[in-house]
Amino acid sequence: MEQNGILPGRTEGKATIRVRSLEPHSAEFTSEQIGTIADIAERYGSGQVHVSARQTIEIADIERSAIKEVFVLLNGNGLYAGSSGHFMRNVMACSRWCLYNVFPLSDLARKLNNLYAEQKLPGKTDISLSGCGFSCTRSRTSDIGIIAQATIEVNADKCTECTLCVREPLGCQVEAITLSDHSVSVDGDRCIQCGYCTNVCKFSSLVLKGTSFAIFIGGSGGITPKEGLIWKSVASEQDVVDEIAGLLKCYSSVAQKGERIGSVIERLGLDSLTEVNHG
């Protein structure tokens, strides 16, 4: 039987355990949790760990006979094996400390990981959360990708041409802002809605008007990379949680074994994943 987070080792009789923290959440291990992982790696493994691309920690070379003991140590410290096979993969989020966050999505990652850590799905399913349009966690090439967005208001007449929003080190990273004739304008095609310029501008010329979440679905990486399609834009974290719940329900009812969300969309169309069609 498939066991969540236990991968066959490269050596006969050994396994790799993929570990995630559900509290605070993977990618934010506490120092105590890191100590536990180091202790397990030293006592039961090779003394080394690997940080996976999906923000889990893999402890390799564990004797299969020691797995139960290892689990007791992990679980006593808020750590769990998971994120493998057809179980929901670890929900990734970018760093809550990044200056470009429209707002940090770490707490949303914790919520989703706790909701879905043990959920089995028809095919590989990953959720990636990005705090802004730079999409460092590859939200656009995930089965479900969330990107926080800022809507900015431009009050051109208030611009003093201080130039802070256009030059290093605080200036717009995608060169969407133009200053001219004592005025400022933002190129909507270039702007990735990170909202950073509204922190930089001290003259209320660039102001944060609102925030939202763009939801992309059907993306994938790997040998057949695919860009996700924009699914919806919603206002709150709770909306994101509700939309994902509905989407996973539909996906589970229509997908064939092993079929990822992007393949369902190709076979049945985007509407097949809409709740209204599933009651």
SS3 106: helix
In whole angstroms, how close is the CB of 221 to ligand SF4 at the nearest point?
Answer: 16
In whole angstroms, how close is the CB of 151 to ligand SF4 at the nearest point?
Answer: 9
DSSP 236: S
In whole angstroms, how close is the CB of 228 to ligand SF4 at the nearest point?
Answer: 15
Query: Closest CB to ligand SF4 among 196 and 251?
Result: 196
Query: Closest CB to ligand SF4 among 86 and 111?
Result: 111
Query: Closest CB to ligand SF4 among 60 and 102?
Result: 102
DSSP secondary structure of 167-180: STTTS-TT--EEEE
Q: Which residues are near ligand SF4 by CB under 6 A?
A: 94-95, 98, 100-101, 130-132, 134-136, 150, 152, 159-165, 172, 174, 176-177, 179, 184, 186, 191-197, 200-201, 203, 205-206
Single out the residue of 92, 144, 114, 128 nearest to residue 273, CA to CA: 144
With the C-alpha atoms ordered 265, 150, 89, 274, is the resulting torsion angle positive or negative? Answer: negative
Question: Is 29:91 a contact under the CB 8 Å cutoff?
Answer: no
In whole angstroms, how close is the CB of 244 to ligand SF4 at the nearest point?
Answer: 19
In whole angstroms, how close is the CB of 215 to ligand SF4 at the nearest point?
Answer: 15
Query: Closest CB to ligand SF4 among 165 and 255?
Result: 165
Q: Which residue has the tokens 């009651």?
A: 279
Question: Is 122:87 a contact under the CB 8 Å cutoff?
Answer: no
Query: Closest CB to ligand SF4 among 194 and 255?
Result: 194
As a dihedral over the C-alpha atoms of residue 190, residue 219, residue 128, residue 108, rounded to 10 degrees, the angle is 90
Residue 92 to residue 253: CA distance in whole angstroms: 25
Query: Closest CB to ligand SF4 among 87 and 196?
Result: 196
In whole angstroms, how close is the CB of 277 to ligand SF4 at the nearest point?
Answer: 33
DSSP 83: -
Query: Closest CB to ligand SF4 among 163 and 277?
Result: 163
Distance, CA of 28 to chain centre: 13
Single out the residue of 247, 238, 244 nearest to residue 278, CA to CA: 247
Q: Which residue has the tokens 């096979």?
A: 85
In whole angstroms, how close is the CB of 137 to ligand SF4 at the nearest point?
Answer: 7
